[in-house]
Structure 1
Amino acid sequence: MHWSDIIAEKLINERKEKKYIVASGITPSGHIHVGNARETLTADAIYKGLIHKGVEAELIFIADTYDPLRKLYPFLPEEFKEYIGMPISEIPCPEGCCKSYADHFLNPYLESLNDLGIELTTYKADENYKKGLYDEKIKIALENKEKIRDILNKFRSNPLLEDWFPINVVCENCGKLKTKVLNYDKEKEKVIYRCEFCGHEGEVKPYKGRAKLPWRVDWPARWSIFNVSIEPMGKDHAAAGGSYDTGVLIAREVYNYTPPKKVVYEWIQLKVGDKAVPMSSSKGVVFAVKDWTHIAHPEILRFLLLRSKPTKHIDFDLKKIPDLVDEYDRLEDQFFKIKEKENLSDDEKEKIRMYELSTPKIPEKKPFVIPYRFCSIIGQLTYDECKKDVDMNKVFEILQRNNYVVEDIDEFSIKKLRDRLIMARNWALKYGEKLIIIDEEEAKKIYENLKDKQKEWIKYFAEKLKSVNFDALTLHELIYQTAKELGLNPREAFQASYMILLGKKYGPKLGAFLATLGKDFVIRRYSSL
């Protein structure tokens, strides 16, 4: 069984509910990255696991848009210093393209979730507070401030003082959330506060968005508002004494609610050179989810994040995207080979389930697939800068020379292939290797420095090229055959070829590469030296 189905089964056995609410959330204070997506995709997999078990369920996403801007992040202009402490829903968009700072980072992520095949109900914290959704929970928190303080102090090295209140008022003067509550009048339901930014003192009813609960109180309040059954969370929240532990006690003892089941997930680390660094919006170590579909289809990201248990850390290496896509392609191939079989083995069942969870829209039949790394080469060679698209006629010519049967490719496969060609090209230009064919003059200079045996082979190979079928398999065999006939180590024949084509000793699979470049060009290059 896939881990998401196991979690769903345990949840159903532990909590008997008419409807299971799976929650996920994030603070859109910066670019929402692949590491953040792990939480949402984990929640989505559990939701799909519950549906798979035949129970009613809903996936909700709560954006913490009423959190304050905590500091001037590296990606912000200097003038945004004045907004530190203000709820991010009330701050202008950094680029002037969205309604607010929060929407600027949230909207692209929500659009990405749609691409990823995630259907959820979205709630924004600022709207929830302003609608009065939290009013009753705020009142309960204020009336139970001693109990909440005692719970939090159990896990603090520096205890909260007796004059602490579980609420942050939005200052009426400067709009910031850093305020000190001085008193609470239970009869009038009003709080007296002093702003720690501007010094303003005022008296307000802390409802309809005039105040916000601090995180460790907000979270359990939210569980009871939305009847949350289960929620994935980062290991920081789940650590001993973390916000989940305090939330459990506040949920039970203050809000009279059974806390949700926790699912802890590990960080995703971004490979930067030889180091793996935890992704962080505030530190600028990110790969934004919105950028994923520039380099690969959404199902590849789902596969990356769902193939491992949430507790297993993932090193996200952009240079290894081709290997990841190859793994997904193999899974897809296995799915279509075994899906109609009877008496499936456990391993086969797991493969089918993994493909189902990875692929939002499962095609009726196995699509025509070209390996991603090969697509990165074809995409670069056939891209039309004027049309900003690949030339599919040239693509099909190259594929035929590489022994692919292209006559009966369906429209779905053609579209998917075109997308992959462009995505793989984007990847190669930014994270892989840009394909640069050196000019003839440079090739001649390199040729002069080759070993005599390599020069002899190049001339011999050029003559043989004129009389053979120009396809990848034939060319591959011809390289070995001609090298053997001249007593040259095939490795040196390959190196010589790469040197006169790319100016370096390595490159793509040579037979396929030569077929891709075309007969006229290849014969001219090998013969002109």
Structure 2
Amino acid sequence: MGKEESFWAADVVKRMVATKRDEYVCEGMWTPSGYFHIGNARPEIFTSYSIYLELIKEGYKAKQNFIMDDFDPVEKIPVGVPVKEEDAKKYVGFPTVFAPDPFGEEKSWGDYFKKQVTNTFKEMGLEHLNIQSSYENYKSGRMNEQIIFSLDHAKEIVETWNEITGAEKPADFLPVTVVCQKCKKIMYTKATAWDGKEVTYNCSECKHEGKVSPLNANAKLNWRIHWVVNWIVNDVAFESGGKDHFSKGGSVDLGRALMKKVYQKEPPIQTPTEFIQVGGAKMAGSVGNVVDLKEWLRVANPESFRYLYLSNRPNHAIEFTLEGNPFILLNDRFERAEKIYYGEEKAENESIETKLKRAYEMSIVGEPTKERPLRVPYSYAAQLAGIMDPKENFSQILEGLKKTKHIPEKISKEEEEMLQLEFTRARAWVETYSPDKLITFVEEIDASAFSEYKELFSKSISIIEKEDSPDEIQQGIYEIAKELELQMKDAFKAFYQILIGKERGPRLGMLIMALGKEKVLARLNELK
């Protein structure tokens, strides 16, 4: 396989292991000031996860950190958080670890939003993550040595900052933000002096002026310095981030320069990650066009989500929507990769096959099974779940799946439970994102409106009575319509109208089986 064809993470790992470390730490960081959405998950978890998995595969000792930057302030009230404008001051400006939970469920704002994401990690197959609290790292003293070093070298930091970014950071800039001892907010303070032991500061919010040791969570490093110091204290070997950080003179360029010039250490290997786009716009909490991990798990399985990221290079932009056919196609791609992995289908060439097999292998939560897992295509499950609610009609769904040969006659209890979960998710997707697929049997019709199709309906009865295959039923009705010299579009439209009151719907054979042959035959007997 040529270099241009190899799995991208393998190339990064080759560069990493040349540094000869005992353990290779991959890291991502996120501030719990709002909802953690799938756009955050790509650079802060899944790009590093690809590297972590490749390191483990090659036999190296590796760890993946996920830093919850809960010492950052609540800067504004995100879309969807129930805080009135006049109450914003109760939250804004405090570190997320101190701000109250606006939902009244956890100890703090940060704890609430952290829990929303960590609650999904087990199901998403992310239990390996080493989760760190930034506040605890400061509180415990892990950051103390580097805080003192950074303050002692503030002049060199300013010189490097201005050189790399073209900014005009003032010569007296100090790289810490103090937690105001009076109002406890962190967003409004400015450090003005450092005497080697304490920082003098003022707070523009409450007008307090004071002096305090910057150690043990009394102060936080400026975020660009905080980022670099995290590399040092965690001995980070790899990190990603959104591509905006990688612009010339941006935060990555500055961080790498600070690491080398001021802290005299080698920075980690870094890879930019493209944005997730929704309708051409970057997914962002401030815009409100976000989907979180919990919502994904409500409508689809975790493997298809993992596949979305692990099958794409990080520099490949992903256009995403939960609505309509694009979401169905995403699940189709995952299911095809699964069949290729188990040798049931072939890819276009050997290179593509190798990539798809590796992407599938990484996408599975746990280890791949010896035989392909029992799985009904998501597209079919969505169609069927749009007709029958799995909470009420699951036994009927199972019987139908056996007749259509989607599943064998005998399945295990575990397989049955998994199928019910998959159909429940598909139903939730239809209800929320594709309501046009919700279909119910129409109880009353005007028989006189369909008099020209009496013979079609009459002759179709024997086909439906005899066949249990949706394809055979479909083909049989097609042949009858052809024999009667009916316009095919009009013939099928008539069937949809007498069954579901619509001009079109899912494949007719599947629809008849899903509605139940007895119900359909009773309707046809009314009309013949």
Q: How does 1:145-156 map to 2 (within 5 A)?
A: 145-156=154-165
Aligned mate of 1:183, from 193, 211, 214: 193
Q: What residue is the counterpart of 1:129 in the other structure?
A: 138
Q: What residue is the counterpart of 2:3 in the other structure?
A: none
Q: What residue is the counterpart of 2:267 in the other structure?
A: 259
Q: What residue is the counterpart of 2:518 in the other structure?
A: 520
Contact 1:169 1:206 (C-alpha < 8 Å) held by counterparts: yes
Aligned mate of 2:183, from 171, 174, 181: 174
Does the residue aligned with 1:136 lie in a helix, a strand or coil? helix
Contact 2:277 2:320 (C-alpha < 8 Å) held by counterparts: yes
Q: Does 1:383 align with 2:383?
A: no
TM-score with structure 1 setting the length: 0.91
Q: How does 1:77-476 map to 2 (within 5 A)?
A: 77-78=83-84, 79-118=87-126, 119-156=128-165, 158-177=167-186, 178-186=188-196, 189-270=197-278, 275-319=279-323, 320-337=326-343, 345-361=350-366, 362-383=368-389, 389=391, 391-404=393-406, 406-433=408-435, 434-441=437-444, 443-444=445-446, 448=449, 453=452, 455-465=453-463, 467-476=465-474
Q: Distance in 2 between matches of 1:244 and 1:471?
A: 59
Q: Distance in 1 between matches of 2:299 and 2:411?
A: 23
Contact 2:164 2:253 (C-alpha < 8 Å) held by counterparts: no
Contact 2:460 2:476 (C-alpha < 8 Å) held by counterparts: no
Does the residue aligned with 2:97 lie in a helix, a strand or coil? helix
- CA displacement 1:280-319 (0-9 Å, x = unmatched): 1122220011221111111110001111100011011212
Does the residue aligned with 1:16 lie in a helix, a strand or coil? coil
Q: Distance in 1 between matches of 2:48 and 2:344?
A: 28
Q: Distance in 1 between matches of 2:131 and 2:72?
A: 16
- Quick one: which amino acid aligns to residue 399 of structure 1? L
Percent of matched pairs sharing the same residue? 31
- Alpha-carbon offset, residue 157 of structure 1: 5.3
Q: What residue is the counterpart of 1:28 in the other structure?
A: 32
- CA displacement 1:497-529 (0-9 Å, x = unmatched): 222223332211111111121111111223334
- Quick one: which amino acid aligns to residue 506 of structure 2? P
Contact 2:90 2:99 (C-alpha < 8 Å) held by counterparts: no
Q: CA 1:460–1:198 in 2, change beyond 3 Å: closer, same or farther?
A: same
Q: Distance in 2 between matches of 1:383 and 1:467?
A: 25
Q: What residue is the counterpart of 2:76 in the other structure?
A: 71
Q: Distance in 2 between matches of 1:399 and 1:283?
A: 42
Q: CA 1:479–1:72 in 2, change beyond 3 Å: closer, same or farther?
A: same
Contact 1:142 1:165 (C-alpha < 8 Å) held by counterparts: yes
- Alpha-carbon offset, residue 33 of structure 1: 0.6
Q: Distance in 1 between matches of 2:282 and 2:494?
A: 42
Q: Distance in 2 between matches of 1:216 and 1:468?
A: 72
- Alpha-carbon offset, residue 437 of structure 1: 2.1
Q: CA 1:502–1:381 in 2, change beyond 3 Å: closer, same or farther?
A: closer
- Alpha-carbon offset, residue 364 of structure 1: 3.1
Q: Distance in 2 between matches of 1:494 and 1:92?
A: 59
Q: CA 1:466–1:329 in 2, change beyond 3 Å: closer, same or farther?
A: closer
Q: CA 1:506–1:9 in 2, change beyond 3 Å: closer, same or farther?
A: farther
- Alpha-carbon offset, residue 467 of structure 1: 4.8
Does the residue aligned with 2:342 lie in a helix, a strand or coil? helix
Q: Distance in 1 between matches of 2:145 and 2:407?
A: 66
Contact 1:335 1:355 (C-alpha < 8 Å) held by counterparts: yes
When structure 1 is superposed on structure 2, of 81-90 and 121-130 the one drifting more is 81-90
- Quick one: which amino acid aligns to residue 261 of structure 1? I
- CA displacement 1:81-104 (0-9 Å, x = unmatched): 332111111111111111211111
Q: CA 1:155–1:9 in 2, change beyond 3 Å: closer, same or farther?
A: closer
Q: Distance in 1 between matches of 2:494 and 2:59?
A: 62
Does the residue aligned with 1:302 lie in a helix, a strand or coil? helix
Q: CA 1:215–1:480 in 2, change beyond 3 Å: closer, same or farther?
A: same
Contact 2:382 2:426 (C-alpha < 8 Å) held by counterparts: yes
Q: CA 1:220–1:287 in 2, change beyond 3 Å: closer, same or farther?
A: same
Q: What residue is the counterpart of 2:481 in the other structure?
A: 483
- CA displacement 1:302-354 (0-9 Å, x = unmatched): 00111110001101121232222222112112212279x9xx94443323211
- Where has structure 1 moved over 6 Å in runs of 4 or more? none
TM-score with structure 2 setting the length: 0.91
Contact 1:403 1:472 (C-alpha < 8 Å) held by counterparts: no
Q: Distance in 2 between matches of 1:57 and 1:28?
A: 25
- Alpha-carbon offset, residue 44 of structure 1: 1.0
Contact 1:398 1:516 (C-alpha < 8 Å) held by counterparts: yes
- CA displacement 1:377-435 (0-9 Å, x = unmatched): 43354436xxxx35442122212332445313234432221111111000000011342
Contact 1:484 1:490 (C-alpha < 8 Å) held by counterparts: yes
Does the residue aligned with 2:504 lie in a helix, a strand or coil? coil
Contact 1:458 1:526 (C-alpha < 8 Å) held by counterparts: no
Does the residue aligned with 1:525 lie in a helix, a strand or coil? helix
- Quick one: which amino acid aligns to residue 139 of structure 1? I
Q: How many residues align?
A: 510
Compute the RMSD of aligned alpha carbons: 2.2
Q: Distance in 2 between matches of 1:407 and 1:36?
A: 43
- Quick one: which amino acid aligns to residue 69 of structure 2? D
- Alpha-carbon offset, residue 490 of structure 1: 2.0
Q: Distance in 2 between matches of 1:166 and 1:30?
A: 25
- Quick one: which amino acid aligns to residue 521 of structure 1? K
